[in-house]
């Protein structure tokens, strides 16, 4: 036995030594490369460049920061695309390309795009339309197009579709999963406290189907969103929205008659311009913008780095604070707008002498009332310091997302922003029925009528239930009051359009919940005007900054990229995307942690 143990220890030491030697060799190679090459060269934009727009993963406000080592190994050995891309990086690159004579065309590839909010898609589509209007041809080259992809591809001068690809639009819908039957079988009691006729966030736990009130409200705002989609695609492709709607209403019949070929159907319907096999589209782009069968191309992130302006002085700053995901106490996590980190960013911006205005960029269905109020209070502190606060609503700014925006100096929303949902609820499951099924009982004594009233195996007592409902009632009154004060409206007037009802940005503007309809760039201009800084400013996106060590490692590994041979990895699979979606959905269970059990959350704001 001792010999075996000694052999095992010797093997471990050998492996450790081998790893150290390999790492040491890598360090030597990289250092040689750094000293001989002077470090990685900065990208240069040449005349006649075709800008390649190929966003990867989910398009978000602020991608989660990856460690330099994760980035290095994914890039050099796995070669999978990044899990998320920044909407702001993409929009800035497109805006610069619009007036850059060195950029002659845009190659749009949505094959790696895993999803994006509707309002963000409309902003990109509008910017692509501006580029095409400025004389820059756009080539959409994805093999297949989802509904979201096609909103962008429709703006192209030429849309290519693989012979075996597809382009399909299915419309928008909201289809929650209802758990009431399962909970009854398990003996779980769901204690619900809410205010708002249309606050349907609790319905999956109390009903077996969508209520008529929820159906009416959802159909109303979905109709607004779908009309905007039809107008955008129809105008870009030269198809009347009514004609496009008619084709989709009778799609199954017409598709069967066409022989069941997606590419042929899309070509005949005018959705795409060319069927392509392999990379034939590359030859077309080379013929128009290159020589000898090739053309200069540059990815939009490299282009962004190459065109970053050089600043000789420290100008005024407009701080951008992002609230993305479900609002909850604590730190940011994927899908969670951590109030602690957001408040810290607002405080840093407020105390920064260069900050002249703050843009609160919101893409959130809400969450904890308590956490939302803490964020709003910190914004009020900035306003008290004479720093204008401009709210810019992205795809979703509902419930808590609207709460934190309501008292901003100005609110900007996209026509397709999902907003409103001014209502509040508490949802507390108890398991006295489940305990009874397995022969478990709870009993005892306490010193007040409230003692034991929150026992998960005993059920809520009447006094506790009364306290919670009173708190929810007060929370709704507070919501109405802050909206009325922030938007200069009467409380009774707000109550009529509140009740938990969801609105499109267009309707919210008509109702007075939003001041202006426009893009993030227009909100930036509004912030500059409010601060009287005009063009003499830079945007400062407050986000997690890499440590000095991470920055060193990043530079070190970037240099290593030039000397390490690249392998050819496999793209992220559909299965991995599904797994990521399941993980995102299960995170919702961990987000109900408001200390008062009071939530301003819109679960109906996820449109598919």
Do 527 and 398 lie in one domain? The reply is: yes
Three-state secondary-structure class, residue 154: coil
- In whole angstroms, what is the distance from residue 226 CA to residue 245 CA? 10
Do 280 and 373 lie in one domain? The reply is: no
Query: Kindly report the CA angle at 281 between 275 and 284, in degrees rounded to 5?
Result: 115
Do 285 and 328 lie in one domain? The reply is: no
Residue 41 lies in a domain: no
CATH of the domain at 280: 3.90.226.10
- Contact (CB, 8 A) for 394 and 374: no
Do 293 and 387 lie in one domain? The reply is: no
Do 542 and 569 lie in one domain? The reply is: yes
Q: Tell me the pairing of strands 103-108 and 389-398.
A: unpaired
Do 545 and 581 lie in one domain? The reply is: yes
Do 422 and 555 lie in one domain? The reply is: yes
Do 140 and 279 lie in one domain? The reply is: yes
What pLDDT is attached to residue 84? 86
Active-site entry in 399, 405, 434, 504: 399
Per-residue burial over 41-72, b = 16 or more CB atoms within 10 Å of its CB, e = otherwise? eeeebeeebbbbbbbbbbbbbbbeeeebeebb
- Torsion over CA of 527, 520, 100 and 555, rounded to 10 degrees? 90
Do 587 and 529 lie in one domain? The reply is: yes
- In whole angstroms, what is the distance from residue 71 CA to residue 322 CA? 23
What pLDDT is attached to residue 398? 95
- If one counts the domains in the chain, the total is 2
Residue 54 lies in a domain: yes
What pLDDT is attached to residue 126? 97
What pLDDT is attached to residue 388? 98
What pLDDT is attached to residue 372? 96
| Angle, helix 548-560 to helix 2-37, in steps of 10 degrees | 80
What pLDDT is attached to residue 180? 92
Residue 145 lies in a domain: yes
- In whole angstroms, what is the distance from residue 587 CA to residue 592 CA? 10
What pLDDT is attached to residue 82? 62
What pLDDT is attached to residue 311? 65
Do 128 and 154 lie in one domain? The reply is: yes
Residue 242 lies in a domain: no
Q: Which domain holds residue 111?
A: 49-167+272-306
Do 284 and 403 lie in one domain? The reply is: no
Q: Is 399 a catalytic residue?
A: yes
Active-site entry in 127, 136, 199, 282: 199
Phi, psi for residue 130 in degrees, rounded to 5: -65, -40
Spans of the chain, pLDDT less than 50 = 1, 5, 8, 12, 14-15, 19, 22-23, 27-28, 30-31, 33-39, 67, 70-74, 76, 78, 546-578, 580-582, 584-586, 588-589
pTM across the whole model: 0.83
Q: Is 11 a catalytic residue?
A: no
Three-state secondary-structure class, residue 395: strand
Do 76 and 141 lie in one domain? The reply is: yes
């Amino acid at each position: 036995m001792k010999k075996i143990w000694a052999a095992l220890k010797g093997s471990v030491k050998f492996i450790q030594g081998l790893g150290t030697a390999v790492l040491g060799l890598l360090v030597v190679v990289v250092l040689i490369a750094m000293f001989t090459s002077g470090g990685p060269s900065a990208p240069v934009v040449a005349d006649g460049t075709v800008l390649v727009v190929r966003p990867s993963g989910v398009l978000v406000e602020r991608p989660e920061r990856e460690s330099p080592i994760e980035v290095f190994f994914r890039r050099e050995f796995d070669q999978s695309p990044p899990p998320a891309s920044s909407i702001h990086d993409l929009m800035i690159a497109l805006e610069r390309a619009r007036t850059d004579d060195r950029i002659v065309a845009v190659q749009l590839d949505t094959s790696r795009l895993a999803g994006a909010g509707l309002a963000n898609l409309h902003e990109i589509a509008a910017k692509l339309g501006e580029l095409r209007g400025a004389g820059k041809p756009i080539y959409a080259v994805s093999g297949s197009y989802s509904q979201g992809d096609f909103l962008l591809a429709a703006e192209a001068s030429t849309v290519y579709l693989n012979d075996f690809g597809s382009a399909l639009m299915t419309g928008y819908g909201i289809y929650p999963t209802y758990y009431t039957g399962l909970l009854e079988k398990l003996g779980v009691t769901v204690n619900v406290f809410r205010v708002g006729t249309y606050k349907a966030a609790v319905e999956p736990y109390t009903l077996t189907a969508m209520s008529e009130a929820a159906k009416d409200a959802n159909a109303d705002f979905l109709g607004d969103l779908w009309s905007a989609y039809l107008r955008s695609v129809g105008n870009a492709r030269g198809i009347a929205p009514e004609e496009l709607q008619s084709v989709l209403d009778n799609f199954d019949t017409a598709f069967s008659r066409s022989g069941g070929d997606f590419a042929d159907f899309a070509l005949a319907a005018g959705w795409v311009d060319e069927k392509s096999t392999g990379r034939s589209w590359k030859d077309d782009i080379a013929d128009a913008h290159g020589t000898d069968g090739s053309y200069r191309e540059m990815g939009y992130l490299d282009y962004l780095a190459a065109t970053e302006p050089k600043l000789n002085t420290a100008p005024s700053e407009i701080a951008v604070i992002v609230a993305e995901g479900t609002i909850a106490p604590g730190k940011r996590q994927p899908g969670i707008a951590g109030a602690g980190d957001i408040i810290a960013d607002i405080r840093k911006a407020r105390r920064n002498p260069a900050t002249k205005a703050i843009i609160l960029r919101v893409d959130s269905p809400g969450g904890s009332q308590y956490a939302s109020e803490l964020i709003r209070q910190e914004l009020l502190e900035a306003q008290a310091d004479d720093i204008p606060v401009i709210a810019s609503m992205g795809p979703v700014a509902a419930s808590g997302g609207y709460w934190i925006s309501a008292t901003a100096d100005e609110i900007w929303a996209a026509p397709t922003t999902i907003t409103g949902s001014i209502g509040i609820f508490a949802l507390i499951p108890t398991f006295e029925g489940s305990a009874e099924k397995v022969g478990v009982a709870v009993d005892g004594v306490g010193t007040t009528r409230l003692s034991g009233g929150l026992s998960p195996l005993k059920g809520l007592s009447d006094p506790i239930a009364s306290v919670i409902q009173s708190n929810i009632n007060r929370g709704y009154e507070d919501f109405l009051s802050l909206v009325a004060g922030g938007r200069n409206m009467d409380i009774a007037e707000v109550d009529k359009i509140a009740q938990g009802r969801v609105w499109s940005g267009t309707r919210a503007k008509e109702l007075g919940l939003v001041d202006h309809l426009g893009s993030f760039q227009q909100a930036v201009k509004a912030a500059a005007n409010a601060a009287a800084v005009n063009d003499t400013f830079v945007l400062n996106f407050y986000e997690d900054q890499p440590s000095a060590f991470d920055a060193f490692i990043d530079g070190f590994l970037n240099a290593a990229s030039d000397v390490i041979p690249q392998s050819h990895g496999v793209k992220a699979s559909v299965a991995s995307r599904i797994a990521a979606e399941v993980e995102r959905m299960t995170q919702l269970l961990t987000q109900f942690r408001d200390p008062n059990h009071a939530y301003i959350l819109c679960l109906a704001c996820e449109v598919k």
